[in-house]
Amino acid sequence: MSKSSLSVTDNRTGKQYEIPIQNGTIRAVDLRQIKVADDQAGLLTYDPGFLNTASCRSAITFIDGEKGILRYRGYPIEQLAERSTFLETAYLLLHGELPSAADLDAWVHGVTHHTIVHESIKKFIDGFHHDAHPMGMFVSTVAALSTFYPEAKHIAEERSRRNQIFRLIAKTPTLAAFAYRHSVGMPYAYPDNDLSYAGNFLNMMFKATEVKYVPNKALERALDVLFILHADHEQNCSTSTIRGVGSSHSDPYSAMAAAAAALYGPLHGGANEEVLRMLREIGSKDKIPAYLERVKRGEFRLFGFGHRIYKNYDPRAKIIKRIAEEVFDVTGKNPLIDIAVELERIALQEDYFVTRKLYPNVDFYSGIIYEAMKFPLDMFPVLFAIGRTPGWLAQWQEMLLDKEQKIARPQQIYAGPDQRDYVPIEARR
């Protein structure tokens, strides 16, 4: 008997089964052979929220949630945040290796020269109400891009995939900035190809009447690092969404719009926006204990706390806390940081948070920085989406090239009524 296997006895039948174990995993389909009668369906696993189900093999991102470790393609997030750039990290995620100098030049040039969007995209954005949430505009315009690039549906062609990847990484900041400018009634600012990825985004967001926008170097670097920290996070809700939607072979714009829609939720990428609302509601340090009591009573959750995978400090939150200081040197301190630091200090001493292993996550401090940089609250999830774009695309491509992948189609446990006859309306009670 192989040692790398699981012996299962089905007490309903007394039959025994050997299920192979590989990489600490059993294949769910191996359970199908376990059945009471030949004409019955085999055993299923039931896993709402995928708490204990691996849906793919992936070579992109490694997380050890107990130890608080995050690596992209093997490289620790701390090293990438210190030494890489967002576009280099995007290349790494998509290609598996750090680029040579020539490859990086070509990559940056390719992204930089795809930043302009079709003029008609502006008409879509113009059609939104002035107070439309920028994330709603972002999701819609990302989806709309598929109508401008119909060849994107040729997902099996490497060249087509590559073109759409360039376009999506290049155009997401443009769409995001245009959504913002629409919401504040400012004319759209076009991309400036002389600037870096983050610098150009700041230009499209904040350029006023000056002929040439010059981004502040420290803020430009801080934003670039924030994008690196958000670039991928293995099989989270939005990444599972792009894989799931992409598994039906829809084009990458439609699949990424779905991922962005998943990110929008307050339990995922919308949490950074909620953190700021929460800190403003708390208002001052002396109100923290009473606020935490309400959290412990289950009235609401502490936003920016807790994670499905991290049962230790989120390594991204540590780096973000450090960046906050660098940003405040330029912008002046955001007073909310004092409330956040105190909230963290008190929460991490409370039994409720300690026993549940609830630590600050990436969203806890990011919003405070964004606010100091003058990004409005409702842009926070959009900033998350810009950073996450290369990760989504890397995961989408990996899924397409994985021969084991099939259309995503979970099973269910049917819990509805048994067969019954249609009742004419006049006979219904």
Q: Which residues bind ligand CMC (CB under 6 A)?
A: 233, 236, 267-269, 271, 295, 301-308, 356, 358, 361-363
Least distance to ligand CMC, CB of residue 296, Å: 8
CB of 136 to ligand CMC, least distance (A): 18
- The residue with tokens 């940089």 is 373
* Total residues found in the chain within this entry: 429
Q: Quickly list DSSP for 116-159.
A: ---HHHHHHHHTS-TT--HHHHHHHHHHHHHHH-GGGG-TT-HH
CA pair distance 121, 127, nearest whole angstrom: 10
Per the annotation, the verdict on 268 as an active-site residue is: yes
Of 189 and 223, the one with the shorter C-beta distance to ligand CMC is 223
Cβ(304)–Cβ(363) below 8 Å: yes
Q: Which is nearer to ligand CMC, 80 or 204 (CB)?
A: 80
- Please give the Cα distance from 271 to 377 (Å, whole number): 11
Contacting residues for 391 by C-beta, under 8 A, at least 6 apart = 60, 61, 93, 230, 231, 232, 233, 239
Name which of 411, 396, 46 is nearest 244 in CA terms.
396
Q: What residues pair up with 354 in beta bridges, in sequence order?
A: none
Q: What are phi and psi of 64, to 5 degrees?
A: -110, 100
Nearer to ligand CMC, 252 or 306 (CB): 306
Q: Please, which residue, 30 or 273, has the CB nearer to ligand CMC?
A: 273
Catalytic residue list contains 118: no
Does 307 participate in catalysis according to the annotation?
yes
First to last CA, the chain: 61
Closer of 167 and 307 to ligand CMC (Cβ): 307
Out of 268, 286, 329, 418, the active site residue is 268
Among 307, 351, 402, 421, the active-site one is 307
CB of 384 to ligand CMC, least distance (A): 8
Q: Which is nearer to ligand CMC, 55 or 331 (CB)?
A: 55
Point out the residue whose Cβ comes nearest to ligand CMC. Answer: 306
Minimum Å distance from CB 370 to ligand CMC?
14
Exposed, middle or buried: residue 230 (CB in 10 Å: 0-12, 13-18, 19+)?
A: buried
Do residues 8 and 16 touch, judged by C-beta distance below 8 A? yes
To the nearest whole angstrom, how small is the minimum distance from the Cβ of residue 305 to ligand CMC? 4
**Least separation, in Å, of the C-beta of 371 and ligand CMC?**
17
Provide the annotated active-site residues. 268, 307, 363
